[in-house]
Chain A
């Protein structure tokens, strides 16, 4: 016998689209959107793939120890389609990543902004900005700076 529960979900228009940035699973569920953290180190690996890309970074801590960070990024297809300058992200280079940290795992985060050693900023403006640009027939512009 079915027993009705009183749980009802209501999500308004644009509810899904508001979760731009990662197609496959919830950023909010895994990462703390309200937190921002900068890490600076040497890029040891860059995996451009689906359903997530990953950056790996060795970061020298204040006490001299080295922490190895795993930083998630968008899908390969999204990053390419949105015109993110991926060629400028090179293994062996030093860079700073502004990220939102994992809710559960140490030294894991989701990339928001990459700042290269020469000051070049590389970022994915996200699905909403990409969609707006398509609708308007304009170039993709990030709606707000993250740093």
Chain B
């Protein structure tokens, strides 16, 4: 569902008229398709193990998307080009990323522990088990039981690793046609203390296309 700028009140009223629960209508600002406007990253201090991992990282050998695998949740959210969509339901949130066809289905259940939550991306279980809840208008998603991967595969943080003990706390807050996402990472194997990465998105009227990653387009080195 697309919303117009400044339509929050109207959406709330429309929600009531359509019989949508009021709490859901209040959250509807998050719903829509988004494109990255900016990405900012505060500092993270690496452990010795992470230092070693970064030193050993070879992009054209180790980048998981050479095998058509998304490197991490942060990597999927942080890729600037492709749009992605949030759809809210009373019992779950659906987040469709174009990149690598990541389709998340996150239960909204404040009583559910992350360990008991389902793997939320069917085709990519290494993206972990997630459960969501609302804190006021902020959607909070907690994730654990992830596979080894990389927080980032581009720029100065290229090759920054994540262990299987990484825990994510994603916080989504909408303000009109802007969406603010903060991701708090806790991974004592590789990072001395939790660190966050923040992204800003703007609402767009674009279609989330099928990605259909092709292996020989992802990694063409071997045929040269």
From B82, B153, B155, A15 is in contact (CB under 8 Å) with: B155
- Output the nearest chain A residue to B47 by Cβ-Cβ distance: A2
Q: B81 interface residue, CB < 8 Å from A?
A: yes
- Provide the bound-state CA to CA distance between A9 and B161, in Å: 13
**Most A Cβ at <10 Å: residue of B60, B63, B80:** B80
Are A2 and B217 in contact, with the CB atoms below 8 A?
A: no
The smallest beta-carbon distance between A12 and chain B, in angstroms, is 6
Bound state CA distance, A3 and B45, in angstroms? 10
* Contact between B217 and A51, CB atoms less than 8 A apart: yes
Bin the interface of chain B by size: 35 or more
A67 at the A/B interface (Cβ < 8 Å)? Answer: no
B45 touches A54 (CB 8 A): no
Give the shortest distance, in Å, between A117 (CB) and chain B (any CB). 27
Q: How far is the CA of A26 from the CA of B40 in the complex (A)?
A: 17
Query: Which chain A residues border B206 with CB–CB below 8 Å?
Result: 81
In the assembled complex, the Cα of A64 lies from the Cα of B45 at a distance in Å of 55
Q: Are B217 and A4 in contact (CB under 8 A)?
A: no
Any chain B CB within 8 A of the CB of A53? Answer: yes
B218 partner residues in chain A, CB cutoff 8 A: 24, 51-52
Contact with B80, one of A20, A25, A50, A105 (Cβ below 8 angstroms): A20
A35 contacts the other chain (CB 8 A)? no
Does B2 make an interface contact (CB < 8 A)?
no
Contact yes or no, B211 A26, CB < 8 A: no
Query: Is there a chain B Cβ closer than 8 Å to A39's Cβ?
Result: no
CA gap between A83 and B39 in the complex, in Å: 25
Query: Could you tell me which B residues sit within 8 Å of A by CB distance?
Result: 35-51, 54, 59-60, 63, 65, 68, 78-82, 98-99, 153-158, 160, 188-189, 192, 202, 204, 206, 209, 211-214, 217-218, 220-221, 224
Q: Which residues of A contact B (CB under 8 A)?
A: 2-17, 19-20, 23-26, 29-30, 47, 49-54, 70, 72, 75, 77-78, 80-81, 104-105, 108, 127, 131, 134-135
